[in-house]
């Protein structure tokens, strides 16, 4: 895990400290245990596993540039309620020294633990030296965990569910292989857009 800047940590803390309701997966509280103030409802939420977020433009992907074209756009922390991932705090870097943080929920967040487990089960990951990252491809509505190989050229991508057609969610792919598959899809989309 890379070292997280203090201002990013402070932005994450501010989001977690903000009053909000319990995550939707929690059981309905009974009257005897229901919290009396919004602040009480965030107790027990913790931010874990900080990782950097990257993004690839569809045109770069279609041109075959792969993960080399990914640019850093911020940080993401998983939010646990007990042992369960219930959301994430994403801290976007606006490039001006200011950060915009928000709490997010949804399938891309909740299946992250399963993707990490899939990666940890690989022998070469146990022996290697990787950095955990998150990769967004907005033009394809695709999000993947990215294990960047810091001592070689064996980056891995694990698409998070829902994955695009022809791609298996939670399967570890060599980065070049998955980027090539997605590049073909991106080229078709760009060609269709140009004709319309």
pLDDT in tens, 127-182: 888 899 999 999 888 999 999 998 877 899 999 999 988 899 999 999 999 999 99
> Does residue 60 lie within any of the structural domains?
yes
188 belongs to a structural domain: yes
* Cis peptide bond N-terminal to 109, omega within 30: no
Does residue 62 lie in a domain region?
yes
Q: How many domains does the chain have?
A: 1
Q: Is 24 part of a structural domain of the chain?
A: yes
| Res. 48 pLDDT band, cuts 50 70 90 | confident
| Nearest Cα to Cα of residue 137 among 117, 155, 164, 113 | 164
Q: What is the number of alpha carbons within 13 Å of residue 92 lying toward its C-beta?
A: 7
Q: Which domain holds residue 171?
A: 6-195
Residue 21 lies in a domain: yes
Asked whether residue 121 is assigned to any structural domain, the reply reads yes
d(CA 196, CA 185): 17
Examine residue 1 and state whether it is found in any structural domain, yes or no: no
67 in any annotated domain:
yes
Contact criterion met (CB below 8 Å) for 15 and 101: yes
Question: Could you tell me the pTM of the whole model?
Answer: 0.80
């Amino acid at each position: 895990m890379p070292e997280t800047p203090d201002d990013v940590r402070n932005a994450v803390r501010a989001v977690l400290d903000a009053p909000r309701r319990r995550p939707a997966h929690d059981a309905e509280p009974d009257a005897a245990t229901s919290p009396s103030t919004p602040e009480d409802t965030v107790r027990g939420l913790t931010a874990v596993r900080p990782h950097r977020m990257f993004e690839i433009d569809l045109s770069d992907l279609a041109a075959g540039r792969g993960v080399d074209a990914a640019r850093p756009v911020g940080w993401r922390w998983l939010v646990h309620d007990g042992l369960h991932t219930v959301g994430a705090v994403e801290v976007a870097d606006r490039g001006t020294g200011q950060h915009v943080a928000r709490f997010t929920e949804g399938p891309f967040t909740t299946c992250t633990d399963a993707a990490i487990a899939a990666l940890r089960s690989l022998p070469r990951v146990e022996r290697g030296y990787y950095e955990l990252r998150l990769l967004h491809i907005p033009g394809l509505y695709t999000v993947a965990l990215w294990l960047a190989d810091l001592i070689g050229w064996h980056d891995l991508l694990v698409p998070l569910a829902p994955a695009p057609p022809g791609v298996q969610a939670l399967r570890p792919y060599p980065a070049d292989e998955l980027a090539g598959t997605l590049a073909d899809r991106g080229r078709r989309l760009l060609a269709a857009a140009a004709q319309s």
